[in-house]
Amino acid sequence: MSVISISRREELKRLAESAKDKKALYGEDIDLSVFEEPEEKESVDEISKLPPEIQNIAVSSGIDITEKDRAGSFVQLDHSVIYQKIQSAYKGQLEIMSTTDALEKYPELEEYWWKAVRVDQDKYTAYAELHPVHGYFIRVFPGQKVDRAIQACLLLQENAKMQNVHNIVIIEEGASAQLITGCSIAPKVKEGIHIGISEFYVKRGAKLVFTMIHNWAEGFHVRPRTGIIVEDNGVYINNYVLLKPVKSIQSFPTAILEGENSKAVFNSLIYGLKDSVIDIGSRIILRGKNSAGEAISRAIVADRSKIYARGTLIAQNDDSRAHLDCRGILFSDEGMMYAIPELVADKSPKSILSHEAAIGPIAEEEIEYLMTRGLSKEEAVSLITQGFMDVKILGLPKHLEDYIRRMIELTQKESM
């Protein structure tokens, strides 16, 4: 049992109970009662000792099984934390543990618990509070520059089950880190739901690059709920990659730029396949003086997929600026894409907010030009697609950039 004060726990429970049937503002409403709780799994002392099928799905979500290029790792399988480790060279720079253990170890963590995300936001946040089951706690100590990525892997092994986690990440003053999260399922999983609450706190002068790679299934639902608070001179960069079919996903993370000179950037690469319903966006609230934000979205609609690309910029300080850039390509007559930009100047008449959005097919003249250079039509389309889904916007290490580029190429071949 966590050591959150009794009064605080009772208040959170009361708020969650009031919202347990509250539909989300966006996305399909999911009946949570049809999903079962998974059984506990045994831990391992090395990632390489995980069952081969689990290793394979972890790798497919950007996880480095060897840990050679990682500062630390966290793996949760269904509801069980089965692995957590910090490489010896990075001990004293960061800590990794389950949020359950962190709440026991640090009573003061209560001040971060449901601060960046409202517990009564909807039925999914309410469920996570009423049925708490781990998640990762990652903290980088003040002034530490962690030069290798930290990785967290959230996996589901059983069919028709639910995984709900609550993650807390704190980058202390003057520190910097890169966190890669891979979320995926075993091959036998055809349906289920993942509820992921994530709260990020980027302190004064700190920086976090967070990359999430999702790899789900055609009958799987995903409901992340994410909040970020950035202090003075802090930088938060969020990269999201989805290249596999999913039944539905609805995510709308909010970054609150509280501090002076604070900055948030959201980048997303989305490939809609089969009957996927993908509702992805981001909200940036600019409160600090000279705060800045940017959201870049690249989406491809294939088959019968639907993509809702949302973006909201809210300026609450005259000395703030932000930009939205949303572009989509339609490969299918049966697919659909909505680009929904929203700009709000809230008592900030001197703030600068802008957006550009474009949806359409690949230009025939581009294909014809490449064909005159000796490429087949399929090769030309593939090359244009790779250029459109520009991995370089993510700012990742080369080995991970190359991995995502290969995944895009494979997805393109499978969808042709």
Residue pair 341/372 in contact by the 8 Å Cβ criterion: no
pLDDT reading at 119 higher than 90: yes
Pick from 120, 257, 117, 77: nearest CA to 197: 117
- Helix, strand, or coil (residue 128): helix
pLDDT reading at 177 higher than 90: yes
Length of the chain in residues, anyone? 416
pLDDT reading at 2 higher than 60: no
Residues 286, 318: Cα–Cα separation, whole Å: 9
pLDDT reading at 399 higher than 80: no
DSSP 8-state assignment for residue 88: G
pLDDT in tens, 323-380: 999 999 999 999 999 999 999 999 999 999 999 999 998 888 988 989 998 999 888 8
Residue pair 236/208 in contact by the 8 Å Cβ criterion: yes
* Residues paired with residue 145 on neighbouring β-strands, in sequence order: 176
In angstroms, the Cα distances linking 346 to 25, 117, 343, 356, 380 are: 21, 21, 10, 21, 45
Residue boundaries of the structural domains of the chain: 6-364, 365-416
Neighbours of 356 (CB within 10 A): 11
Burial of 64 from C-beta contacts in 10 A (0-12 / 13-18 / 19+): buried
pLDDT of residue 1: 43
pLDDT reading at 223 higher than 70: yes
**What's the start-to-end Cα distance of the chain, in Å?**
51
Residue pair 173/141 in contact by the 8 Å Cβ criterion: no
Residues 105, 120: Cα–Cα separation, whole Å: 26
pLDDT of residue 12: 95
Pick from 100, 234, 218: nearest CA to 177: 234
**pTM tops 0.85, yes or no:** yes
Residues 261, 289: Cα–Cα separation, whole Å: 6
Structure-block tokens of residue 287 = 């409160």
* Residues paired with residue 297 on neighbouring β-strands, in sequence order: 268, 326
Residues 273, 127: Cα–Cα separation, whole Å: 29
Helix (H) or strand (E) holding 382: helix 377-388
Which residues, other chains included, contact 378 with Cβ-Cβ below 8 Å and sequence gap of 6+? 416
In angstroms, the Cα distances linking 255 to 83, 202, 235 are: 30, 10, 11
pLDDT in tens, 18-34: 999 999 999 999 999 99
- Per-residue confidence band for 415, with pLDDT thresholds at 50, 70 and 90: low
User: Which single residue is written with the structure tokens 């639910």?
Assistant: 162
Pick from 289, 300, 286: nearest CA to 362: 300
pLDDT of residue 416: 59
Residues 96, 92: Cα–Cα separation, whole Å: 11
Question: Which is more confident, 197 or 4?
Answer: 197
